[in-house]
Chains A and B, each alone.
Chain A
Amino acid sequence: MSATSPGRHTTARHHILSVLVENKAGVLARVSGLFSRRGYNIYSLAVAPTDDDRFSRITIVVDVGGTTLEQITKQLFKLINVVKINELDPAESTEMELALATVRADAGSRGEIIEMVNVFGGHIVDVSHDALTVSVADAPARVDDFEELMRAYGIVELQRTGRVALPKLDRQAPRLRSVTGKVG
C-alpha cells in the first residue's frame, strides 16, 4: 500500500467536519448526542480549545453520503453553541493524526522496528525488554501504513487520536495591484 492510496481509514464516504463551538460545559455531549439521536455515525472525533479560549474546535470524521452530510451540517448548526462549520475536502486540507502503539520487540526485531519508526519520522517513547511504545504523527493514510507494518511484529495496544484538520493554504501568489495614475 502506497502512502497516498486510500487506506481503511479514508474511504470515499468519509467527510471531515471542522466545527467551531463555544468552549462551554456540555457542548461535546450536545454534539455527540445529536449524532446518535439522528442516527449518524461518528467515525472519529478530536476536540481541543483553539487559540481563542472562548472556542473549541471539534474535528469530526463522519461516514455518510452527501445528502445526509447536508442534514448533519444543518442539524449541527441548529445547536446554539455551534458557531461555525466547515466541511473540509480531504484534497483541500491538511490532516494529521497521532498514533501510539506498543509493539512486541524482542532482541531480534527491535532493530527493524526502530528503523521503521525512523522512516516514518516517529519516536520511541517507551522501552522494555520485550516491547517498545512508539509514536507516529502524520497524515492519516501514512498512519494507516505504519499501523499495517507494525502489525507484523505484534501490536499489544494501539491508540489513535482521530484526525485533526485545517484547510490548505492558498498557493496562489498574491495578485499584484495594478498601478494607476501618472507614471514618471
Chain B
Amino acid sequence: MKLTGAQALIKSLEMEGVEVMFGLPGGCILPVYDPIIDSPIRHILVRHEQGAGHMAEGYAHVTGKPGVAMVTSGPAATNIVTPLCDAYMDSVPMVVITGQVNTFAIGSDAFQECDTTGITQAVTKHNWLVTDAADIPLVVREAFHIANTGRPGPVLIDLPKDVANQLMEWQWPTDADVDADLPGYKPTTKGNGRMIREAARMIAAAERPVIYAGGGILKARAAEALRELAELTGIPVVTTLMARGAFPDSHPLALGMPGMHGNYTAVTSMQKADLLIALGSRFDDRVTGKVDAFAPGAKIVHVDIDPAELGKVRRPDVPIVGDCRSVIEEITQALRQLAAAEDAAPPPDRGPWLAQIRDWQARFPLHYEMAEDDRFLKPQFVIETLRENTPEDVILASGVGQHQMWASQHFRFEHPYTWVNSGGLGTMGFAVPAAIGAKVGRPDRMVWAVDGDGCFQMTAQELVTASAERIPVKIAILNNAYLGMVRQWQELFYEERYSEVYLSPDLPDYVKWAEAMGCVGLRVEHAEEVQPAIEKANSIDDRPVVIDFRTDSREKVYPMVPAGGSNDDIILGPSQGEGGR
C-alpha cells in the first residue's frame, strides 16, 4: 500500500492508539493536516502553540498516556519549546510533531525555518529529523516507546514538507525492528536483588525512618505499592509537589508536602530522620534547601529508574535503579521475608519517633488567619472551600507561584493523578491549558484550575479553545493584583521595595474577558460568596467558568525556608519575624 508521508504519520499515530491531539496548522505541516479530516483521531485546535503543548501535558498527567501535539515549523516550533522543557523537567510523556521546510531548503534560512531539532535537543528525551518518508512508521513507534518507557519524557519528530508529500510503501514495524534500531536504549526496570535485600534490612532496623515519595511513584503507577509498604512498616510518608495524591492526605501516615513551602512536620521529620527512603524523588533544591544541611543524620535508600539521579545531589547508601512499582513491591516482599525469618532481629521501637511526629503535627499545623473584617478574602480559605465543595476525585490543575503552593498545601489530595502542575520548570500559565488537556483526558471527572492573575494572563486565550470545543473546565483565579510570589520575596528579602510586581485587580476585567471567550464569568469579593460561586460553577457543564476571587495581596505563603537556607531554619509565619529579619 502506497501512502504519502503525511498519511503514514497519521496512520502511525492511529496504530499507536492516539485518540486525541492538540495542535495548530501552518505552512510546512499543511500536508499532515489533510489526512486528519479522514482520521478518527480528535484534533483540538488551540489558539497558541504553547497551549497545545501544555494541553498534551495535562492529558498525559491524568491518563498516563503520552500527550500528542502537532504544530508547524519556525515560530510554532519555538512556541512549543516551553512545554517541551516543562515536560522534560517533570518527566511527562509527550510526542510533539513539528513541520519543517523542504529538505532541500534546510539550512538556507527559508521562510519559517528554524533548527527545531537543534533547539529542542536539550529539552527532549530524544528527537528526530525525518528525511525519508519510509522511516516514518519506525520513528513514530520509537517516539512513543521512548516517551513512555524508562524515565518518561517528551520527544519530538520534525517532518519536512517534502517528506510529508513523498510516497512510501506502508509497513508497520515490529518490536524487533524497534529494538534493532535502538541499540543504546535499554532502561533497567528490575532492581538489583542484593540492593533490595540491603534496603529491606536498613528499613527494618531504622528507628526514625521517613518515606520521601516523589513524582516517580505516579509515573510508575506505584501508589498502591507505596501504600502497602507504608502500612506494612508503619513508616510515615512525605509527598513532594510532584507526588501530591500519590498517598492520600487523609491517611494517618501522611505527612504532606516537604520543601521550601512544605509543612513543619514534613520538613522537620526529614531533617531528623535516621533513614530516608527516597522513592522516585530527585533531591530537588526546593526540597533539600541547603544540601549540606539536609537530613544530616539520615542514611539514604534511593530508588529511581534514572541511574543519573542516584548520587546526583546526595550519595545514597543503597542505590537501586529500577521501576518504582516493581522495586517497592520487592522491598515489601523482602521485608516480609525478613520478619518471618527465624533469626529475625526484634523490630526497633519507633514509638518515640511517631510520638514526636504527632507532637509536631499538633503544635505546628498549616494555618492561616482569617481577616478580622470581611474586606480581605484569604486565598487559603478559597482553596479549602473549593476542596469542601468538589468531589473527592476532582482533578486540580495549577499555575506557578503562591496560588500553586496554597493549592498544594491546603487542597487535600486523596487520589493519584488528581494534581496537575508544573513543578520543575515552574511555568507560569500552565494551569489553563493543562486543565483543558486533563479534562479531555478524563471527561468523566470534574476539572478545576487554581490560577494566579499573573499566570492567567499568560495563556487565558486557550479558554477560547475550551469554549469552542465544549471542554467545561473551571478556573479559580486567586486575583491578588500582584505577581504574588515575587512580591513576597521583595517584601521579605528586598526591604519591601516592590519592583514591577503590581498588576491591578481590575485590569483586565476578568469577568468580561471570560465572557468574551465564551465562558461564564463570576466575581467574588467576600468570604460568604465563595461557596455559592463554586456551587454555581459546578452546576455549569456546557462551557468553561472563570471565577475572579479578589484575594488579600498581603497574604504570604508559609511555612517558608529561605532560598539557600537550611531546612532547620524554617519560618512558620509572620509571627516569627517576617522572614527572620
Task: Identify the A interface with B (CB < 8 A).
Answer: 21-22, 25-26, 29-30, 33, 37, 54, 67, 70-71, 74-75, 77-84
Contact = CB atoms under 8 A, between A and B. Distances in A.
B121 A74 contact: no
A87 to B, nearest CB: 15
Contacts of B121: 26, 29-30, 33
B308 A22 contact: no
A22 B183 CA distance: 8
12 contacts: A21-B184, A26-B117, A29-B118, A29-B121, A67-B311, A71-B311, A71-B312, A74-B308, A77-B184, A77-B308, A82-B184, A83-B183
A78 B151 CA distance: 10
B118 A83 contact: no
Interface of B: 117-118, 121-122, 125-126, 129, 146, 182-185, 306-308, 311-312
A81 B184 contact: yes
Contacts of B184: 21-22, 77, 79-84
A79 B311 CA distance: 19
A26 B129 contact: yes
A8 to B, nearest CB: 31
Contacts of A29: 118, 121
A70 B122 contact: no
Given A26-B117, A80-B182, A81-B184, A74 B125 contact: no
Nearest to A27: B184
Contact of A74 (B146, B183, B307): B307
A70 B311 contact: yes
Contact of A78 (B117, B308, B311): B308
Contacts of A81: 184
B129 A25 contact: yes
A80 B308 contact: no
Contacts of A74: 307-308
A134 B184 CA distance: 40
Nearest to B118: A29
Contact of A37 (B117, B122, B185): B122
A130 B184 CA distance: 52
Would you list the 4 A-B pairs with minimal beta carbon distance, nearest first? A74-B308, A83-B184, A80-B126, A82-B184
A80 B126 CA distance: 7
Contacts of B118: 26, 29
B129 A80 contact: no
Most buried by B among A21, A54, A70, A80: A80
Given A29-B121, A33-B121, A78-B306, 6 more contacts: A26-B129, A33-B122, A71-B311, A74-B308, A77-B308, A84-B184
Most buried by A among B121, B308, B311: B308
A33 B126 CA distance: 13
Contacts of A25: 129
A82 B308 CA distance: 15
Given A22-B184, A25-B129, A71-B312, A77 B117 contact: no
A83 B185 CA distance: 8
A75 B182 CA distance: 17
A80 B185 contact: yes
Most buried by A among B118, B121, B183, B184: B184
A7 B333 CA distance: 55
